[in-house]
């Protein structure tokens, strides 16, 4: 039986069209899902949308539509965007899906029956865009500490989850499972900012919000976001449903990948809910940083950042999904905040994609065509330079595997491109065009070309998880299936000798950066 790998994105709040920030998390998860499939694992990749709450109602009213009509359009656009970005998920969950709503109700009722939910009343400052209640001390200059917008004081009858009972259990969880919450700095943040000061019981129902899942035994109340949204990770697998085979097969999640702004919900509230239900906890929660554009976060809750965002729907037709995917992996240190600039994006296309990878493939294929009529040669006479090059490449393979296991995608994709850098350096060092003119040089030339082709093969196999389009073209030119499980990554014997290389066009045309910047500026509103 294959080892399983269950990975999730957060479910996105579809009050508006998805941005580059939403795409970042989804692209990262896509790379991890693809890589684990290539490792031979049985992968399940979940994403989706969190579709209830007051903000949805308000957004729908503004455009004169019902909540469902409004959401259907955004969800369709989201699915189109994920397809545009070459994202291949296994399931897309919507919290308006009937099966999810029934599961959320059952979970709420079970928590109530177990004594973890009780009825009371809530007083607090409420932020509609973030759907969060805050105490007076948590406000920043009288405004929401997350998005900086105005808050309103509200009081209403509500059900509460006994979150206050789980402080010691959560600290024990972090202590005994150092990989549960990453990066490790997030642990200190949760303990010092929330748990040690004392956890308050959590408001888990509303009477003033009607667009949501009704509490099964008290229809005046709507299940509030935490139990509704967070339970998607198990409802999507059929938990408490008629068919729970996926739940039995894939749970617990191997990793929930989230943005750092929702760490508290996933590392405090979600584990507490699961503990209360006696359900196995996810193995790992990884909270990445924000993409910064002009010094501001790219997200719908920050209007300034959203206005500056260059839409992936604009970028992909111009530069391809691979270029955007690579930029996000390479330029944003995974786990930390990182800056996105148009100039850096275009420069990466030229320096890394066009010059390093694209040019390497082009010149190598051209030399094999010139010297061996596009027939893949076998190695013959091997020098120290060849052996050193081979060892360098194979060392990077192991590095990529380690980094992907550690969820360090930035270092992983850098190691992949190190392979291409080694290959370009190798070409300059051994100078095959000189060897070709030497007497008896053909034997040496065979090895050089074979080693270059094997390095490109290995690098492209590893690159598939990050940049599926370009790597698939290269692997197909070798007669290889890009989706096949990894093989021969630890040797230079993966290509069929005497087979003929396919034709390849230019993978990444070189760009005039200044001209492209002017073009893109016209799209910024």
Please state the φ and ψ torsions of residue 156, each to the nearest 5 degrees: -160, 160
Q: What is the largest CA-CA distance in the chain?
A: 91
Tell whether the model's pLDDT for residue 522 goes beyond 80: no
pLDDT band, very low/low/confident/very high, at 297 (cuts 50, 70, 90): low
Predicted local distance difference test score (pLDDT) of residue 118: 97
Is the pLDDT at 515 greater than 70? The verdict is yes
For residue 457, give Cα distances in angstroms to 344, 371, 400.
27, 19, 15
Q: What interhelical angle do 312-319 and 321-331 show, nearest 10?
A: 110
Checking if the pLDDT of 381 tops 90, the result is no
* Mean pLDDT in residue range 134-141: 82
3-state secondary structure of 152: strand
Dihedral sign from CA coordinates of 437, 438, 441, 445: negative
**Distance (Å) of CA 384 to CA 243, 426, 445, 446:** 60, 12, 14, 15
| Least-confidence region, from 90-99, 165-174, 197-206, 416-425 | 197-206
Report the C-alpha dihedral over residues 119, 123, 125, 129, rounded to 10 degrees: 30
- State both tokens at 141: 């200059």
How far apart (Å, rounded) are the C-alpha atoms in residues 258 and 443?
53
485 SS3 class: coil
Rounded to whole angstroms, the Cα distance separating 7 from 99 reads 20
Cα 197 to Cα 132, 191, 267, distances in angstroms: 19, 8, 16
User: Measured in whole angstroms, how far is the alpha carbon of residue 186 from the centre of its chain?
Assistant: 18
Residue-wise pLDDT for 218-242, tens only, equals 999 999 888 999 999 999 999 999 9
Angle (CA) 359 412 322, round 5°: 50
Which sign does the torsion angle of CA 234, 235, 238, 239 carry?
positive
List, for residues 56-72, the tens digit of each pLDDT value.
999 999 999 999 999 99
Share of the chain above pLDDT 90, in %: 78
Residues 198 and 111 sit within 8 Å (Cβ to Cβ): no
Least confident of 194-208, 235-249, 292-306: 292-306
CA-CA distance, 228 to 159, in Å (whole number)?
14
pLDDT tier at 149, thresholds 50, 70, 90: confident
pLDDT at 301: 41
User: Has residue 310 got a pLDDT over 90?
Assistant: no
Q: What tokens appear for 332 in the block?
A: 């944003």
Q: What are phi and psi for residue 377, nearest 5 degrees? A: -85, 165
Evaluated on CA atoms 194, 199, 200, 202, the torsion sign reads positive
- How many Cα atoms occupy the beta-carbon half-sphere of 150 within 13 Å? 1
> Using H for helix, E for strand and C for coil, what is the string for 290-347?
CEEECCEECCCCCHHHHHHCCCHHHHHHHHCHHHHHHHHHHHCCCCCCEECCHHHHHH
pLDDT at 15 over 90: no
Does position 302 have pLDDT exceeding 70, yes or no?
A: no
pLDDT over 60 at 307, yes or no: no
The pLDDT of residue 141 is above 90: no
| Confidence category of residue 524, pLDDT binned at 50, 70, 90 | low
């Amino acid at each position: 039986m294959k080892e399983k790998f269950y990975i999730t994105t957060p479910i996105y709040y579809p009050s508006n069209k998805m941005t580059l920030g939403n795409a970042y998390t989804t692209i990262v998860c896509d790379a991890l899902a693809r890589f684990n499939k290539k490792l031979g694992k049985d992968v399940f990749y979940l994403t989706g949308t969190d579709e209830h709450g007051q903000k949805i109602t308000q957004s729908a009213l503004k455009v004169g539509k019902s909540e469902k009509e409004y959401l259907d359009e955004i969800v369709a656009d989201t699915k189109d965007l994920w397809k545009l970005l070459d994202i291949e998920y296994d399931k897309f969950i919507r919290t308006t899906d009937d099966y999810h709503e029934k599961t959320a109700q059952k979970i709420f009722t079970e928590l109530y029956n177990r004594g973890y939910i009780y009825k009371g009343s809530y007083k607090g400052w409420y932020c509609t865009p973030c759907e969060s209640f805050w105490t007076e001390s948590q406000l920043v200059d009288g405004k929401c500490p997350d998005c900086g917008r105005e808050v309103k004081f509200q009081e209403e009858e509500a059900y509460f989850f006994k979150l206050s009972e789980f402080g010691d259990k959560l600290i024990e969880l972090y202590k005994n499972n150092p990989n549960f919450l990453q990066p490790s700095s997030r642990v200190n943040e949760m303990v010092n900012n929330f748990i040690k000061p004392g956890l308050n019981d959590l408001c888990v129902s509303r009477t003033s919000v009607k667009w949501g899942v009704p509490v099964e035994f008290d229809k005046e109340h709507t299940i509030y976001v935490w139990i509704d949204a967070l339970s998607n990770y198990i409802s999507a697998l059929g938990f408490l449903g008629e068919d729970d085979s996926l739940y039995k097969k894939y749970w617990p999640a191997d990793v929930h990948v989230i943005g750092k702004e929702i760490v508290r919900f996933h590392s405090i509230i979600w584990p507490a809910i699961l503990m209360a239900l006696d359900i196995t906890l996810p193995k790992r929660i990884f909270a990445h940083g924000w993409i910064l554009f002009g010094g501001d976060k790219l997200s719908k809750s920050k209007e300034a950042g959203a206005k500056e965002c260059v839409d992936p729907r604009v970028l992909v037709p111009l530069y391809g999904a691979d270029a955007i995917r690579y930029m996000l992996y390479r330029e944003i240190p995974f786990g930390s905040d990182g800056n996105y600039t148009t100039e850096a994006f275009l420069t990466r296309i030229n320096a890394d994609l066009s010059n390093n990878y694209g040019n390497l493939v082009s010149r190598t294929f051209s030399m094999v065509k010139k010297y061996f009529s596009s027939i893949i040669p076998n190695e013959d006479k091997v020098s120290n330079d060849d052996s050193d090059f081979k060892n360098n490449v194979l060392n990077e393979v192991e590095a990529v595997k380690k980094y992907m296991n550690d969820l360090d995608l930035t270092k992983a994709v850098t190691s992949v491109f190190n392979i291409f850098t080694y290959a370009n350096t190798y070409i300059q060092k051994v100078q095959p065009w000189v060897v070709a003119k030497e007497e008896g040089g053909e034997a040496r030339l065979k090895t050089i070309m074979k080693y270059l082709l094997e390095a490109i093969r290995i690098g492209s196999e590893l690159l598939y998880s990050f940049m599926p389009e370009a790597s698939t073209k290269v692997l197909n030119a070798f007669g290889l299936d890009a989706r096949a499980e990894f093989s021969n990554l630890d040797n230079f014997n993966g290509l069929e000798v005497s087979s003929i290389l396919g034709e390849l066009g230019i993978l990444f045309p070189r760009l005039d950066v200044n001209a492209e910047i002017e073009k893109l500026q016209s799209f910024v509103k």
